[in-house]
Structure 1
Amino acid sequence: MGRRLIFQSHDDDDQQPPPIQQILSIPVVLTDRIRHAVDDSKFYKLECADVGKRVDRLSQMLRSAVRLADSTSLYERPIRRIFNDVMRNLNRALTLVRKCRHRGIIRRFVSIVGAADFRKVFNLLDASIGDMKWLLSIFDAGEESAADGGIILTLPPIASSDPILAWVWSCIASLHIRPLDLKIEAARELSTLARDNDRNKMVIVEEGGIAPLLKLLKDESSPEIQIAGAVALFNLANDQYRARTVFNEQGVPILAQAFRNSSILAQIEVSKLIARVAEHDSVSQEGFARENVIETLVTLLSFNAFNDDHGKIIKFLRKSIGSAVEFNKQVERSSFMSSNFSNRKALSSSIWPRNKNESKMETSKLILELNTNCSGALWMLAKGNVANCRRITETKGLLCLAKLIEKEKGELQINCLMTVMEITSAAECNPEIRRSAFKTNSLAAKAIADQLLRLINESDDPVIKITAIRAVGQLARTFPARETRVISPLVKQLGHMNPDVATESVIGLGKFTCSENYLRAEHSKTVVDFEGVQLVMKLLRGNERIQYHSLVLLCNLAMYAGKNEQFQQARVLTALEGADKSVACRYPELRDLVAQAVHHLNMSAAY
């Protein structure tokens, strides 16, 4: 009796997958065994012969796949999935055919074989043939296939219940082995799929789409392929898991290199991608810092912030993107990339026109877009990261941000302002940053303070005003007592019609007058001198949030401002005594603070 050997596939997530060579070799061995079993069959010989024909066809395809794998590096995910499925089907065919050998009447009686069994095996083998035909088609990178053009979008039987899987496999395989134009097309297809829904994003990531997309960014000879890869990755990396996957695939150094060495159009998209990855993954934030991306961003922003010479900007652009002719080609090619580039085809025809005024205008638009995205990336790198905020202050980043806040409007100004707010937030909780970056005699600190106060006084945008007020409040412990110009705008905003602006002003003044501020007494007196008490009393009639912070500020003023007639005129004691009766149930943590403030006011009234 011959030895029966059945090859089985094991799908165990806890074990390392077998080497691809083993996956490729086992089905070929199985086809040979089935061929011998067909020759040895004694009954159902016609059906066994049909099995043999299908297996012979499958064997040819399997051997073609093995030869293809030996000659080039292939995308393994569909190979493993399909070969494992083929292996299971061949095992079933081998088991069935072996039952048809003459083994005696008892064995034949126990191993009953029927026509239905053969029909099932025929269907399984036909499905495997269809899968292999599809697999060979997506990996056939010969000249004839390339001439036919396009990505293979047929549906293999294995993916009949999940067409997106086949689409993703075809696109990722094209990224691995297809010519440049098909790689660009594949990246765009993946970008479109990723925009549709989160499940598509997960399929692309789990099927190994991140690594080949990152590889596209290394091709500095083609801005178009870099843009295609960056846009696709941007659409994928919109949560922590997928952003971390970019990091795990060594994406941070690749992005840093692409950002430094690419054309300006690619830099725009890569800077968006850096911002997206940093926004969702704190580990990537630190990785970008190690790659000196912060310094590169500050350098690019500084060039525009401190340089109004249009000729120098043109020279900088030419150095970054090459000749004007090549630049026009890059812009025109990029106009087909996605909806993000739909307006650039018109731009490409006039970016280097003969008319100098037009040239200056179009170049300025491009520089503005680059700086806007660079500032967004800098904001995301600084967000919630004290170490990165310190890195920005150690460069000339603060001066650069102050200058851009002064010169620019719109999204660029807001991005710079938000970056400043992240730095001031880090300074609030980190004494070293306060001492190093916001010293009293620091030109950068003075420039930042000047711009923040200007926005508080002049801006009509509540978002900008609130952000500037918050940043000033976070710097409360850095201002000396003589800087009364900082207190005045905050007191003025207490009467703002927008309750959010007024609330942020109350919170900011609370940081100037709280017990943690060494100059709380001086600042409290300044607030009272600017007639802030009456305004705070009015805010006690506002919503619950503004009531809470107004009560805190009022208590601070009562304890640290000393004796002042404004407290009596505004009936602060009466208000606090009324609050003392309800504060225990509404805000238990304020009970002691209110009691201390009432005590101070009673003591002041006694003398």
Structure 2
Amino acid sequence: MSHMEGRVEELLTFPIQLCDQVRMALNDPDSFKQECQELMKKVERLFTFLRRAHNVGPGNLYGRPTRKIMGDVEKTLEKALALAKKCKRSGMLKRVITITSAADFKRVNLLLDNAIEDVTWLLNVSAVGDDRPDSVGLPPIAITDPVLAMIWEQIAVVQVGSLDARCDSASILASYAKESDRNCKLIIEEGGLPPLLRLLKEGTVAGQEAAAEALGVLARDAERVKQILDERAVEVFIQVLTNGSMKVQVKVAWALAQMVSRNADAQDEFAQAGAIRLLVSLLAYDTLEDTSKVQKAVSIHTIVKHQLDKTKTDIGTSLPKPVDQDAEDASSDTEKRPVGSKPAEPPRSPDPKELTLKKPYQQDPSRLGPTKPVSGYSKPSGHGPTRNSSFEPVRTSPDPHSRHAAPHGLSRHRQERDREDPQTKQMLKAEAAHALWKLALGNVKNSKSITDTRALLCFAKLIESGEGAVQMNSVNAVMEIAQAAGEDAELRRAAFKTNSPAAKAIVEQLLKVIEHGEPELQWPCIRAIGCLARIFPAPALHVIIPLTAQLASKDGTVAEEAAVALQKFAYKDNYLYMEHSRTILENSGAGHLVQLIYFEKQAQMQALILLSYLALNVGDSADLEKAASLAALEAATRWTNLPDGVRGLLCDAIEHLELYQGGPRAPSEAGNFLV
């Protein structure tokens, strides 16, 4: 290991030794005596500053600039030593050969001046308390890159400055990081992470807020997040989320969301460290204080239903149970269906024509024409591995803020939280929901962990009574959890049982937003309901009617999401697709879809897919004929942007409708609507 790779204090040992050698070489020169005397003065001054730097307390000397400055100081002293040796008698011949001149001394003097200024700057930025000057200036070593010097200065202050100064410098570093990716890279490479994490762990409230904001801004991409995690940031974040000030927790939750949204490994690390439980606890604070009221509103229905079931059982009757959509693969012909549903058709051998016409649409509606990502939100492409669990209802943990459940010594902390202003409390709920949303993004395991807590009840309450970012982040978190449940049967069975109070509360609030909310809230709620399509027993009027109504929405995104959601009800993978298809048509679904196909470019592809499903499922429906569905489908065959899978689906739907609506139509009747 070279001397430049050792401890910071050891970096000054070799330059000090070089200074001694130069001083000895400059004693009693045989030529250029005047120049050697001037050189000696500067070497002596440099030697003094190097000794002062060497005596600085351990940990106070900023390592990154020290290494760079000492490297240049060594090169300067080596040049001074070579020049001094030429002035000795033994070097007379060398002097004649190399033609040493006064210009060489001027050049070395300039280098020594720069070295002295660099070491002086290093001492100033490493000074503590009153010894630190108000302005340390710009060192010659960074004259070509002043931003680097400014970053060095602020990192040094965060490392050894006063509490107030550390807070200010952390804020300045955050502003630097916002300006460019290069600044982020420099702050991390120049050792800015350890002092920021130390400030977050041990600083004042203002300093902790500034440090958390800086760390969140530095988490610009997956590589930066990995570098932050390598500095053991997870431990510090967990400590603050456990017992930090509420204002600091707001910033930490925001920074956590930034990190996990850019690095999948960060999702797992924070989840394993217990961040989900802590965030749900913060979310539940002052949200489920009236949990008994929420549960009472839900449990009355549950109690009445239970008594009704018990009474009917006593008189020798039994109510048919809702079909478990996820058990369809294991269902038999003797299995009972929900009220209003038809008996399952007996299995039959596949028709050769069916095998020939079987199209990709029979796999997954989401693969036909990918839904266009809207407003920065997109469906995750995959999920992590699921955790083994039994089919049990959502477990509700005891309230950690309860007087009896709180450990001894936390009452003072609770009082401090109670005294926080309402705005801070709302900001904490918003950022806690934001962090949970990002932790659930594309991660089934984390979604399962979230649903194992009281999070769903909290989200239901916040969707109902929250405003702004609180409501928006809660809706997005539920949407991500629902998307994970839509792709993972185990999570769906565990978290969204039809008799689960939390699941009922969530569905109720989602439907309210779908009916009366703003478009930016409606579309994620619609997507969430669509992902949960398999949990609803037929006829599911309370769900399908609001979704069908949104097909007529003036907002193209809402109409498109409504069509995609209804596809999941009408697709053959849904055990009740026939009943759901009839319900959609009975509530003017065909008419809305025809209008979308003709007039709404954003939603027309998804509307076409849904109408094709309905035509294949219930082609004998009078509602399809009344809405002129066949004409709309035939017009769509002339579109130039149809994917192959959708075109095959469309042809099958037209052929099926022609069996019920009097054969093929004349080309003039089908219209000439081109896209």
Q: Same fold by TM-score, threshold 0.5 exceeded? A: yes
1:245 to 208, 227, 249: 227
Q: CA RMSD in A?
A: 2.8
Q: Which stretch shows the higher mean deviation, 417-426 or 57-66?
A: 57-66
Distance 1:470 1:204 in 2: 40
* Residue in structure 2 matched with residue 496 of structure 1 by the alignment: 553
Residue 199 (structure 2) pairs with residue 212 (structure 1)? no
* Residue in structure 2 matched with residue 518 of structure 1 by the alignment: 575
| Number of residue equivalences | 550
Distance 1:382 1:150 in 2: 48
Distance 1:151 1:176 in 2: 17
Distance 1:155 1:43 in 2: 36
Q: Which stretch shows the higher mean deviation, 290-299 or 174-183?
A: 174-183
Deviation, structure 1 residue 48? 2.4
1:596 to 639, 649, 652: 652
Distance 1:282 1:290 in 2: 13
Distance 1:108 1:410 in 2: 80
* Residue in structure 2 matched with residue 131 of structure 1 by the alignment: 118
CA spacing shift, 1:268–1:33, aligned 2, 3 Å: same
TM-score (norm 2): 0.76
Distance 1:462 1:323 in 2: 39
* Residue in structure 2 matched with residue 404 of structure 1 by the alignment: 462
Distance 2:638 2:154 in 1: 69
Q: Secondary structure in 1 aligned to 2:499?
A: coil
Distance 1:189 1:576 in 2: 60
Which whole-Å deviations, capped at 9, do the CAs of 1:238-257 have from their partners, x for residues lacking one?
43333332211111110111
Distance 1:599 1:431 in 2: 34
Distance 1:244 1:473 in 2: 35
Q: Secondary structure in 2 aligned to 1:305?
A: coil
Q: Is the 8 A contact 1:151 1:170 kept in 2?
A: no
Pairs within 5 Å for 1:268-279:
268-279=250-261
* Residue in structure 1 matched with residue 173 of structure 2 by the alignment: 190
Deviation, structure 1 residue 21? 5.0
Q: Secondary structure in 1 aligned to 2:538?
A: coil
TM-score (norm 1): 0.84
Q: Secondary structure in 2 aligned to 1:98?
A: helix
* Residue in structure 2 matched with residue 75 of structure 1 by the alignment: 62
What is the one-letter code of the residue matched to 1:131?
Answer: D
Residue 281 (structure 2) pairs with residue 299 (structure 1)? yes
Deviation, structure 1 residue 9? 9.1
What is the one-letter code of the residue matched to 1:234?
Answer: G
* Residue in structure 1 matched with residue 330 of structure 2 by the alignment: none
Distance 2:38 2:93 in 1: 26
What is the one-letter code of the residue matched to 1:262?
Answer: G
Pairs within 5 Å for 1:19-98:
19-20=7-8, 22-39=10-27, 41-68=29-56, 71-72=58-59, 74-98=61-85
Deviation, structure 1 residue 369? 2.4
* Residue in structure 2 matched with residue 377 of structure 1 by the alignment: 435
Q: Is the 8 A contact 2:456 2:503 kept in 1?
A: yes
Pairs within 5 Å for 1:173-572:
173-219=156-202, 222-308=204-290, 319=411, 321=413, 363-459=421-517, 461-572=518-629
Deviation, structure 1 residue 322? 6.8
Distance 1:401 1:493 in 2: 23
Deviation, structure 1 residue 233? 2.3
Q: Secondary structure in 1 aligned to 2:598?
A: coil
What is the one-letter code of the residue matched to 1:45?
Answer: K
Q: Secondary structure in 2 aligned to 1:541?
A: helix
CA spacing shift, 1:533–1:240, aligned 2, 3 Å: same
Q: Which stretch shows the higher mean deviation, 517-526 or 574-583?
A: 574-583
More helix by share: 1
Residue 106 (structure 2) pairs with residue 119 (structure 1)? yes
Distance 2:414 2:653 in 1: 68
Distance 1:482 1:301 in 2: 35
Deviation, structure 1 residue 231? 2.8
* Residue in structure 1 matched with residue 96 of structure 2 by the alignment: 109
Q: Secondary structure in 1 aligned to 2:191?
A: coil
Deviation, structure 1 residue 126? 0.3
Q: Which stretch shows the higher mean deviation, 444-453 or 29-38?
A: 29-38
What is the one-letter code of the residue matched to 1:173?
Answer: A
Distance 1:106 1:323 in 2: 85
Q: Is the 8 A contact 1:533 1:566 kept in 2?
A: yes
Q: Secondary structure in 1 aligned to 2:635?
A: helix
What is the one-letter code of the residue matched to 1:217?
Answer: L
Which whole-Å deviations, capped at 9, do the CAs of 1:402-443 have from their partners, x for residues lacking one?
122112222111111010001011112222211211222222
Deviation, structure 1 residue 540? 0.8
Structure 2 alignment gaps of length 5 or more: 292-399, 664-675
Q: Is the 8 A contact 2:440 2:481 kept in 1?
A: yes
Distance 1:92 1:233 in 2: 42
Distance 1:288 1:229 in 2: 19
Deviation, structure 1 residue 136? 1.4
Which whole-Å deviations, capped at 9, do the CAs of 1:43-64 have from their partners, x for residues lacking one?
2232223222211211121122
Structure 1 alignment gaps of length 5 or more: 1-7, 11-16, 328-350, 353-361
Q: Is the 8 A contact 1:263 1:320 kept in 2?
A: no
Q: Secondary structure in 1 aligned to 2:202?
A: coil
What is the one-letter code of the residue matched to 1:408?
Answer: G
Distance 2:414 2:540 in 1: 49
Q: Between the two proteins, what is the percent identity of the paired residues?
A: 37
CA spacing shift, 1:322–1:137, aligned 2, 3 Å: farther
Distance 1:406 1:445 in 2: 14
Q: Is the 8 A contact 1:151 1:174 kept in 2?
A: no
Distance 1:302 1:19 in 2: 47
Q: Is the 8 A contact 1:405 1:417 kept in 2?
A: yes
Deviation, structure 1 residue 444? 1.7
Distance 1:163 1:118 in 2: 28
What is the one-letter code of the residue matched to 1:250?
Answer: R
